[in-house]
Chains A and B, each alone.
Chain A
Amino acid sequence: MNVESKIAERVKEVPPSGIRKFFDIASEMEGVISLGVGEPDFVTPWNVREACIYSLEKGMTYYTSNWGMPELRKAISCYLSRRFGLEYNPKNEILVTVGASEAIDLALRAILNPEDEVLIPDPSYVAYMPCVRFAGAKAVAVECRPEDEFRLTPDKLEQKITPKTKALILPYPNNPTGAIMTMEDLEAIAQVLRRTDIIVISDEIYAELTYGQRHVSIASLPDMKERTVVINGFSKAFAMTGWRLGYAAGHPALIGAMVKIHQYTTLCAPIMAQVAAIEALRKGFEDGFASVEYMVKQYNMRRKVMVNGFREIGLECYEPKGAFYVFPSIKKTGMTSEEFCEKLLLDQKVAVVPGTAFGASGEGFIRCSYAYSIDNINEAIKRIGNFLKKIL
């Protein structure tokens, strides 16, 4: 039997992740300095880990409600209200998922019919396009340009809207560009959307990681809440990537449909991660999210060190206001992003991610994460500087 022929067309046609190749080379090499990681370097705070250990000792090893533990949903509701001014009923408007990733997949599968189109700002996180295609619909890239600081602009959005457009994914603060959308930027987008029936899937996983200004959710704008699914999670804000815990908040009809898929495919998020998340939020309410503020402060310093470092070695880079990525242009080298990253890795043992892994508009850019110690960042920049001297 030809097993390969049994793979579904829509799975086959999605290309493998552009990151994979670099991962394979880099993980074989000794002495690699990496700026390639999309997760915090902070380990989960001890009080959170300790709460999980205690729950295991007590024997909390069972399924929870499909929606997630009521106590956690209440805490999430309170958190969204306090930090972002969003009001959601924990009874029927919040669903706890296995990472924000599952929430994105559920939101897409809950609304998409074949032939539907989903607009995705480009460049963006690697998973949106494949998830849309696995759901049987069509992904449509909306170009974001460096001259707009990689924000989604209303004219670029409008150009791509067709009668088939079902949803817009709004991933800000953005991975890989570090772009954010201010209240004014979002209002301009909202003005376009209000004339349509387009659903917004707002991936706000980096919402806590903004510098100089607070994140604004599009759901907090007038008349936008009903059509928006807000997606967030504990990975970035609470340094809990490996726990795989996220959530979605939105209209009861949308969340209800997502729960239907979730209950039959996943049943519930792991109870240990849910218990840990309750502790993360409890501590946050108690101390005003001091550990989040501490991490943001550290990232902010590293961000400045990295932007300054790239400018000093002659790489053009706009100052990102969110997430933990810098997205410098390597256009002056005349290389493609992939070429640059591969040569840099082989020549200087520095791992960065080609912008093209995040969409065609990422060509000419590289994604560098500053979720590393300052010494690590300085060393990497020094090596990239050496590389540039050689090739320019």
Chain B
Amino acid sequence: MVNEILEILNEDSRRTPEEIAVMLGTDVETVKQKIAELEKNKVIVKYNTIVNWDKTDREYVTALIEVKVTPQRDQGFDAIVERIYKFPEVKSVYLMSGDYDLAVMIEGRTMKEVAFFVAEKLSVLDSVLSTATHFVLKKYKVDGVILEDEEKDYRQVIVP
């Protein structure tokens, strides 16, 4: 039941407890209580909106920064990662296998702003060995959603 509630909200966070109760064939109070628990336990972290900023006049750029770091004794990557993710410019941080250690997504208003952030804030951190900046040119699919989906309902109005 909990997973089903999460799947519904993950698909559309505007679904009300009343709607969810109908969809799952249970009562509203149970749904409300489960959601409250999930929020409290931080399983539901936040209710978010997927925005296609490219369709607005907002100036912004996103970049993926590959970061190589030296893990620290006793703390591994956690201490250095914490110092990185606390910057508001940093939108997400993942620890990676492979050629580099951290994948850091940065958002800024201009390429210059992002470049300076990397040069002045990231590269200078003690444990950071090197960085490589890749700017995102276009977003096609974000969090499982195709931003400009051209598939439409081709079905006829009435079919036996």
Chain A positions near chain B (C-beta within 8 angstroms): 17, 19, 22-23, 26-27, 32, 34, 36-39, 41, 43, 125-127, 175, 297, 301-302, 304-305, 308, 351, 353, 357, 374
B156 touches A37 (CB 8 A): yes
| Proximity bits, B148-160, A CB within 8 Å = 1, else 0 | 0001010111111
Checking A22, A43, A127 against B158 with a beta-carbon cut-off of 8 angstroms, the contacting residue is A22
Checking B22, B24, B156 against A27 with a beta-carbon cut-off of 8 angstroms, the contacting residue is B156
Checking B8, B25, B155, B156 against A41 with a beta-carbon cut-off of 8 angstroms, the contacting residue is B155
B158 touches A34 (CB 8 A): yes
Which residues of chain A are within 8 angstroms of B19 by Cβ–Cβ distance? 305, 374
Which residues of chain A are within 8 angstroms of B25 by Cβ–Cβ distance? 304
What would be 7 A-B contacts, judged by CB atoms less than 8 Å apart?
A27-B156, A37-B157, A39-B159, A305-B22, A308-B22, A353-B158, A374-B19
State the total of A-B contacts with C-beta under 8 angstroms: 55
A27 touches B23 (CB 8 A): no
A26 touches B160 (CB 8 A): no
| Proximity bits, B3-20, A CB within 8 Å = 1, else 0 | 010001000000000010
**A26 touching B157 in the complex, CB below 8 Å, given contacts A43-B151, A305-B19:** yes
A17 to B156, CA, bound (A): 15
The 5 closest A-B pairs by CB, nearest first: A36-B158, A301-B23, A23-B158, A26-B157, A126-B160
| Proximity bits, B118-157, A CB within 8 Å = 1, else 0 | 0000000000000000000000000000000001010111
Which residues of chain B are within 8 angstroms of A125 by Cβ–Cβ distance? 160
For the complex formed, measure the closest distance between the CB of A274 and the CB atoms of chain B, giving whole angstroms.
Answer: 22
Which residues of chain B are within 8 angstroms of A297 by Cβ–Cβ distance? 4
Which residues of chain B are within 8 angstroms of A175 by Cβ–Cβ distance? 160
A34 to B156, CA, bound (A): 9
Q: A36-B159, A39-B159 are in contact. List 16 more A-B contacts (CB 8 A).
A: A19-B158, A19-B160, A23-B156, A26-B158, A27-B156, A27-B158, A36-B158, A37-B156, A37-B158, A43-B151, A127-B160, A302-B23, A304-B23, A304-B24, A305-B19, A351-B158
Interface size class of B (residues with CB under 8 A): 10 to 19
A34 touches B157 (CB 8 A): yes
Which residues of chain B are within 8 angstroms of A41 by Cβ–Cβ distance? 153, 155
Residue of A nearest to B158 (CB): A36
Which residues of chain B are within 8 angstroms of A308 by Cβ–Cβ distance? 22
A22 to B158, CA, bound (A): 8
A304 to B25, CA, bound (A): 7
Residue of B nearest to A302 (CB): B23
A131 to B113, CA, bound (A): 71
For the complex formed, measure the closest distance between the CB of A336 and the CB atoms of chain B, giving whole angstroms.
Answer: 18
A22 to B156, CA, bound (A): 12
Checking B8, B153, B157 against A351 with a beta-carbon cut-off of 8 angstroms, the contacting residue is B157
Interface residues of B in 6-51 (CB under 8 A from A): 8, 19, 22-25
A32 touches B157 (CB 8 A): yes
For the complex formed, measure the closest distance between the CB of B7 and the CB atoms of chain A, giving whole angstroms.
Answer: 8
Question: Which one of A19, A36, A125, A297 has the highest number of Cβ atoms from chain B below 10 Å of its Cβ?
Answer: A36
Checking B4, B151, B155 against A37 with a beta-carbon cut-off of 8 angstroms, the contacting residue is B155
Question: Which one of A22, A26, A34, A126 has the highest number of Cβ atoms from chain B below 10 Å of its Cβ?
Answer: A34
**A301 touching B158 in the complex, CB below 8 Å, given contacts A41-B153, A43-B151:** no
Which residues of chain B are within 8 angstroms of A353 by Cβ–Cβ distance? 158, 160
A33 to B73, CA, bound (A): 63
Question: Which one of B4, B156, B158 has the highest number of Cβ atoms from chain A below 10 Å of its Cβ?
Answer: B158
Question: Which one of A27, A41, A374 has the highest number of Cβ atoms from chain B below 10 Å of its Cβ?
Answer: A374
Which residues of chain B are within 8 angstroms of A32 by Cβ–Cβ distance? 157
Residue of A nearest to B152 (CB): A43
**A17 touching B160 in the complex, CB below 8 Å, given contacts A41-B153, A41-B155, A43-B151:** yes
B22 touches A23 (CB 8 A): no
**A38 touching B159 in the complex, CB below 8 Å, given contacts A43-B151, A305-B19:** yes
A351 to B156, CA, bound (A): 11
A27 to B158, CA, bound (A): 8
Which residues of chain A are within 8 angstroms of B151 by Cβ–Cβ distance? 43
Checking A34, A36, A305 against B23 with a beta-carbon cut-off of 8 angstroms, the contacting residue is A305
For the complex formed, measure the closest distance between the CB of B26 and the CB atoms of chain A, giving whole angstroms.
Answer: 10
For the complex formed, measure the closest distance between the CB of A70 and the CB atoms of chain B, giving whole angstroms.
Answer: 32
Which residues of chain B are within 8 angstroms of A374 by Cβ–Cβ distance? 19, 23
A353 to B160, CA, bound (A): 9
A19 to B156, CA, bound (A): 12
For the complex formed, measure the closest distance between the CB of B93 and the CB atoms of chain A, giving whole angstroms.
Answer: 30
Question: Which one of B22, B23, B156, B157 has the highest number of Cβ atoms from chain A below 10 Å of its Cβ?
Answer: B157
For the complex formed, measure the closest distance between the CB of A383 and the CB atoms of chain B, giving whole angstroms.
Answer: 15
A43 to B151, CA, bound (A): 9
Which residues of chain A are within 8 angstroms of B157 by Cβ–Cβ distance? 23, 26-27, 32, 34, 36-37, 351
A304 to B159, CA, bound (A): 22
For the complex formed, measure the closest distance between the CB of A193 and the CB atoms of chain B, giving whole angstroms.
Answer: 27
A37 touches B22 (CB 8 A): no
Which residues of chain A are within 8 angstroms of B23 by Cβ–Cβ distance? 301-302, 304-305, 374
Residue of A nearest to B22 (CB): A308
